[in-house]
Structure 1
Amino acid sequence: MLAAIGLDERQESAYRALVALGAAEVGDLARRLTLPEADTERALRRLESQGLAARSSAGTGRWVAAPPHVALGALLARQRQELERAERAAATLAREYRSDAAEAAAHDLVEVVTGAGAVAHRLRQLQLGAAREVCAFVTGTKVVEAQERAAVRGVAYRLVVEREVLSLPGGLMELSAALARDERVRVADRVPAELVVADRALAMVTLTGRGAEPAALIVHASGLLESLMGLFEAVWREAAPLRLGAGGKVMEGAGPGPDATDLEILSLLLAGMTDASVAKQLDLGLRTVQRRVKGLMELTGVTTRLQLGWHACARGWITREHSP
C-alpha cells in the first residue's frame, strides 16, 4: 500500500511492525519480520531517510517509529506536489506536441510497434491516456481485457465484439463486467480488425500473421485516423447492442421500449429542463435520470441527446400533446 511513496514490501513491513511496537531493537524486529538483521537494518535506514523512523537515544541499535499521521502526511503532500508539477509539465508538452503535429511529416503519422511486450505496453498507455472516450473492435482471438480500465476515471467505452467472443472461455464474464461498468457493448458477426481509438486522436491497429512477431500500427491524427474512426462508427451502427438481463445475464438486443417514466423524462428534457430539474420534478435520483437517458440512447443507437430527441419524435414516443 505504501509503494506509492517509494517503500518496497520489506520496508513497509518494517514500518508497520515498528508502528505496532512503538520502538524495537534491530534483532527483535528482525525476528518479528523473519529477516536477517542486515536486511532489517537496511530497511530501517531507508525508513530513516524517508523520515518514518529514527534511532532511539535510549541505546544503540534501538529504533522508534515516527507518528504515521505526521510522517506519512508529509510524504503524501510532497508526492502530490510532485504530481502537480508533472501534470503541468505534461500539459505543456501536450500543447507543444499539438502545435508540432500540425506540421508533422507523413511518415511520422504512423508508428510500427513490434514485440508482444511493446504492443501490450502501448495499448495500456493508450487506454490510460484517454480523457474522454475509448472505442474498440474486439476480435475472437482474445477476450476483452479489463485491467486498469480508463472507465474508472469517467472515460466512456464503446466496444464492438465479434460474436465468437461470446463463446470464448471467460468471454461472457468479461462482457458482463464491462456492462456493469456502464460500458456500451455491441456484437457483430465479424469486425474488420483489432482496433482501439482514444479520444479520436490516437489509434492502434493490431497486425497479425502466422508465425510472425506481434506488431501494431500506432496512427496519429490524420486522414487515416479519421477513416478508421469512420469505419468504427459504421460497424457500431450496424451491430446489435448487448445488455444485462435478469441475474446479470448478458443478452443481445436493444431490450424493451421506454416505460412511462422514460417518456416523462424525455418529455421534460425536450421542454428544456436540466437533468437535475427533471430528477426533482419526478422525485428521482439524478443518477437514475442519467442512467435512463443513457439506456434510451443505447436503445435508439444514437450518441447525442439531440439525436435522441429526434428519434423519440420519429418513433412517436413524444408528441406535442404529451409535452408540457
Structure 2
Amino acid sequence: MLTAIGLDDRHEAAYRALVAVGAADVADLARRLTLGVQDTERALQGLERQGLAARSSARPGRWVAAPPAVALGALLTRQRHELERAELAAALLAREYRAAAAEPAVHDLVEVVTGASAVAQRFLQLQLGAAEEVCALVTGAPVAVTAPENEAEEQAAGRGVRYRVVVERAVLDLPQALGGLTEALGRGERVRMADRVPTKLVVADRSLAMVPLTSHSAEPAALVVHASGLLELLAGLFESVWREALPLRLNTDGAAEEVPDGPDGTDLEVLSLLLAGLTDASVAKHLDLGLRTVQRRVKRLMELAGVTTRLQLGWHAYERGWVTRGRPD
C-alpha cells in the first residue's frame, strides 16, 4: 500500500512491524519478518534514510519507528511536489509538441514502426494514452500482441475508456479467444462480430490510429497515423464495419451467440409507441410489459442500430424502415 511513496514490500513490512511493537532490536525484528538478520538490518537502514526509523538513543541496539503521521506525511508531501513538477513538465512538453504540430509536415502525419517489439510497444502505448474511446477491428492471428498479453486494454477500460471492438468470425477459433472476449464483455466493452473484417485497425480518441503494413519480410510493421484526412478515413472505415456487424453475446457455456440482425415484432411496437411520444412507463403499461423489459429492448435496439442516444435511434429507425414494418405473423 505504501509503494506510491517509494517503499517496497520489505521496507513496508519492516516499518509496520516496528510501528506495532514500538521498538525492537534487529534479531527480534528479523524473527517477526522471517528474514535474515542482514536483510533486516538493510531494511532498517533504508527506513532510516527515509526518516521512518531511528536507532534508540536510550536503549542502544534497538530501533524505534518514527510517528507515521509525521514521517509518512513528509514523504507524501515530497511525492506530491514531485508529481506537480512532473505534471508541469508534461504540460510544457505538450505545449511544445502542439506548437510544433500546428503545421505538421506530411512525413510527420504517419510513422512507420518496424519490428515485433516496437509494434507491440506502440500498440500498448496507443491504448494507455487513450482518454475516451478505443475502436478496434480484429482479424485472424495476432501480429505482435496476443489477447492475454494486451494488459493495456484492461488498464484503459479500468480508467473508464470505452471500447468498441469488431472481431472477425475466424477469431473465435483461436486458442483463448473466447476467454478474452468473455473478459472484455465482463468489463463492459461493446463487441460485435462480422464474417470478415478488412484489416486490423486500432483508433484511439479519433486522434491516433494504427494499421498493419503488408510486408514481404517476416518482420512485423505498422503505420501509426496522426490527425489527418487519412485518420478520418480509417475512423470512417471502422464505423462502416461496426454498423454492419452483429452484437456478440456469449452463453453460459462460453459459446458465441449472435444477436438477430433486426428487431422482432414486440421491438417494433415498443419503438413505434416511443416515437409517438409515450414514456417508457406508458409503453410498458400499454403492451403489458415490465418497465425494465421495455428499457432492455430499447437498449438492444440502440445496439442493433449502433447508436448511443434515443434521438439517433429514431433517425436510424426511419432510415432502416423499422417503423414502417408490420408485426410478423
Shorter-chain TM-score tier: 0.7 to 0.9
Task: Give the distance between the partners of 1:242 and 1:94, measured in 2 at CA.
Answer: 39
Task: Give the distance between the partners of 2:294 and 2:61, measured in 1 at CA.
Answer: 63
Offset, 1:45? 2.4
Q: Is the Cα–Cα contact under 8 Å of residues 56 and 63 in structure 1 kept in the other structure?
A: yes
Q: Secondary structure in 1 aligned to 2:147?
A: coil
Match of 2:179 in 1: 173
Computing the radius of gyration over CA atoms, which structure comes out larger, 1 or 2? 2
Q: What letter matches 1:147 in structure 2?
A: E
Task: Give the distance between the partners of 2:34 and 2:215, measured in 1 at CA.
Answer: 50
1:316 equivalent to 2:319? Answer no
Could you say if the C-alpha distance between residues 20 and 292 of structure 1 is closer, same or farther in structure 2, counting changes exceeding 3 Å? farther
Q: Is the Cα–Cα contact under 8 Å of residues 270 and 309 in structure 1 kept in the other structure?
A: no
Could you say if the C-alpha distance between residues 8 and 206 of structure 1 is closer, same or farther in structure 2, counting changes exceeding 3 Å? farther
Deviations 1:118-147 (A, max 9, x none): 332222221111111101122221353552
Q: Which runs of 5+ in 1 are unaligned?
A: 276-282, 318-324
Could you say if the C-alpha distance between residues 100 and 56 of structure 1 is closer, same or farther in structure 2, counting changes exceeding 3 Å? same
Match of 1:141 in 2: 141
Task: Give the distance between the partners of 2:71 and 2:299, measured in 1 at CA.
Answer: 45
Deviations 1:144-187 (A, max 9, x none): 35524311122111111121221222111111111122211111
Offset, 1:211? 6.1
Could you say if the C-alpha distance between residues 132 and 305 of structure 1 is closer, same or farther in structure 2, counting changes exceeding 3 Å? farther
Q: Is the Cα–Cα contact under 8 Å of residues 14 and 43 in structure 1 kept in the other structure?
A: yes
Q: CA RMSD in A?
A: 3.8
1:203 equivalent to 2:206? Answer no
Worse overlay, 234-243 or 109-118: 109-118
Could you say if the C-alpha distance between residues 194 and 12 of structure 1 is closer, same or farther in structure 2, counting changes exceeding 3 Å? farther
- Alignment equivalent of 1:161, drawn from 155, 159, 167: 167
Q: Secondary structure in 1 aligned to 2:151?
A: coil
Q: What letter matches 1:203 in structure 2?
A: A
**Structure 2 counterparts to residues 244-283 of structure 1, below 5 A:** 244-245=250-251, 250-254=256-260, 257=263
Match of 1:307 in 2: 312
Offset, 1:25? 1.1
Match of 1:321 in 2: none
Quick one: percent identity of the two aligned structures? 68
Match of 1:9 in 2: 9
Moved over 6 A (4+): 258-270, 288-292
Q: Secondary structure in 1 aligned to 2:323?
A: coil
Match of 1:53 in 2: 53
Could you say if the C-alpha distance between residues 56 and 223 of structure 1 is closer, same or farther in structure 2, counting changes exceeding 3 Å? same
Offset, 1:82? 3.8
Offset, 1:74? 4.7
Q: What letter matches 1:302 in structure 2?
A: V
Offset, 1:254? 4.2
Q: Is the Cα–Cα contact under 8 Å of residues 254 and 298 in structure 1 kept in the other structure?
A: no
Could you say if the C-alpha distance between residues 243 and 24 of structure 1 is closer, same or farther in structure 2, counting changes exceeding 3 Å? same
Offset, 1:96? 3.8
Deviations 1:206-228 (A, max 9, x none): 34657623333221111221222
Could you say if the C-alpha distance between residues 267 and 189 of structure 1 is closer, same or farther in structure 2, counting changes exceeding 3 Å? same
Count of residue pairs the alignment pairs up: 310
Q: Which runs of 5+ in 2 are unaligned?
A: 281-289, 325-329
Match of 1:83 in 2: 83
Match of 1:322 in 2: none
